C-alpha cells in the first residue's frame, strides 16, 4: 500500500507493486542534494524499510545531481559535519532491503556521485560525468566516496578522482565497472526498469538475504552463508520455485521425446512407402 506523501518538494515519486522510482528534481539548484531533499529521501527509506521494494533513482532537468547545495555547505560548521547529514542518508539507502538502481545522466558530481556509489547498480547515459570535486572547494568527499569508491574502482583510480579532481565519462566508467550499462538518454529509465524486471523475477526473500549477506564482513563467512541458506531452505518459495523448475524440465523432456517419436514414425512411414514403390 502506498503511504508516501502526495507531494514532495524535491522528488518525483512513482510507486509500483515491486518498485519505487524516485526522480531528483529541483531545477534551481540543478538537483543539488540539500537538507529538504535529504529529509524527503529519509521518508522514502522509511517506507521501503517497512515494505521492501526495488528503488530506482534518477534525475530530472538533464542531470542526476550536481552535488550538495554549496550555499548550504558554506554555512555548515564542525557540528554539522559531525552529524553526517549526507553520509547518514546515503548509508541508509545502501542498506535498503531490496536492490537500488541509480540511472545517471549529465552531471553526477560530489554528493550526487556519492549517492550513486551507494546504489547496488549504476547505469548511465553517454553524457554522464562522474566525479568528486570536493577538494577544489576546500573540503573532502565525506559521504562515502573515500571508501566506497576505492571498493568499486580500486585505489589508484579512486585517488585520482578524490585527490586530483578527475571526472569519468560513460565509457571510462564502464571500463572500470563503476557503471554496468550505457543507454541513450531516452532509454535510460527503460533500461533501469528492464534491470528491475530481471531482479523482480527472482524470489524477493532470496534477493534480500543475498544482498544482506553480500555486504557482511569477510570474517563472518562462510558461517553467515550457511545460516542464511538454512533460512531459505525452509521458505515456501524455495519449494514452489524448485518444483516449477523440475516440472518445466520434465515437460521439455516429454516434448523432446514426443518429437523424436513423431520423427521416427515419419521416417518409418517414408521407408515403408519407399519399399512399396519399389
Count the neighbouring beta carbons within 10 Å of the beta carbon of residue 42.
14
- Of 40, 51, 114, 160, the catalytic one is 114
C-alpha–C-alpha distance, residues 92 and 13, integer Å: 18
d(CA 238, CA 231): 10
How far is residue 43's CA from residue 10's CA, in Å, rounded to a whole number? 12
Distances (CA, A) of 255 to 12, 47, 250, 260: 49, 46, 9, 9
Residue 82 CA to residue 114 CA, distance in Å, equals 17
Q: Residue 49 catalytic?
A: no
Q: Annotated catalytic residue: which of 47, 75, 134, 219?
A: 134
Active site residue 134: yes
Q: What is the DSSP letter of 169?
A: -
**Maximum distance among all Cα pairs of the chain, rounded to whole angstroms:** 102
Residues involved in catalysis:
114, 134
Amino acid at each position: 500500500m502506498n503511504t508516501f506523501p502526495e507531494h514532495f518538494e524535491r522528488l518525483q515519486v512513482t510507486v509500483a507493486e515491486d518498485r519505487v522510482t524516485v526522480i531528483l528534481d529541483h531545477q534551481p539548484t540543478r538537483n543539488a542534494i540539500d537538507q529538504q531533499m535529504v529529509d524527503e529521501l529519509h521518508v522514502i527509506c522509511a517506507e521501503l524499510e517497512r515494505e521492501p521494494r526495488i528503488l530506482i533513482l534518477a534525475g530530472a532537468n538533464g542531470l542526476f545531481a550536481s552535488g550538495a547545495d554549496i550555499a548550504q555547505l558554506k554555512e555548515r560548521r564542525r557540528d554539522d559535519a559531525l552529524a553526517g547529514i549526507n553520509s547518514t542518508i546515503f548509508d541508509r539507502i545502501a542498506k535498503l532491503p531490496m536492490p537500488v538502481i541509480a540511472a545517471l545522466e549529465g552531471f553526477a558530481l560530489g554528493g550526487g556521485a556519492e549517492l550513486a556509489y551507494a546504489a547496488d547498480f549504476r547505469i548511465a547515459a553517454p553524457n554522464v560525468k562522474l566525479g568528486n570535486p570536493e577538494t577544489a572547494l576546500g573540503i573532502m568527499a565525506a559521504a562515502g566516496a573515500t571508501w566506497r569508491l576505492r571498493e568499486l574502482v580500486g585505489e589508484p583510480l579512486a585517488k585520482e578522482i578524490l585527490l586530483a579532481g578527475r571526472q569519468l565519462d560513460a565509457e571510462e566508467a564502464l571500463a572500470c565497472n563503476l557503471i554496468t550499462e550505457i543507454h541513450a538518454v531516452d532509454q535510460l529509465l527503460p533500461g533501469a526498469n528492464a534491470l528491475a524486471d530481471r531482479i523482480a523475477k527472482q524470489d524477493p526473500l532470496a534477493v534480500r538475504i543475498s544482498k544482506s549477506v553480500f555486504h557482511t564482513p569477510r570474517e563472518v563467512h562462510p558461517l553467515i552463508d550457511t545460516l542464511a541458506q538454512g533460512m531459505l531452505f525452509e521458505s515456501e518459495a524455495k519449494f514452489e520455485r524448485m518444483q516449477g523448475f523440475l516440472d518445466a524440465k520434465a515437460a521439455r523432456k516429454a516434448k523432446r521425446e514426443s518429437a523424436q517419436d513423431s520423427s521416427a514414425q515419419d521416417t518409418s512411414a517414408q521407408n515403408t512407402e519407399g519399399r512399396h514403390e519399389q
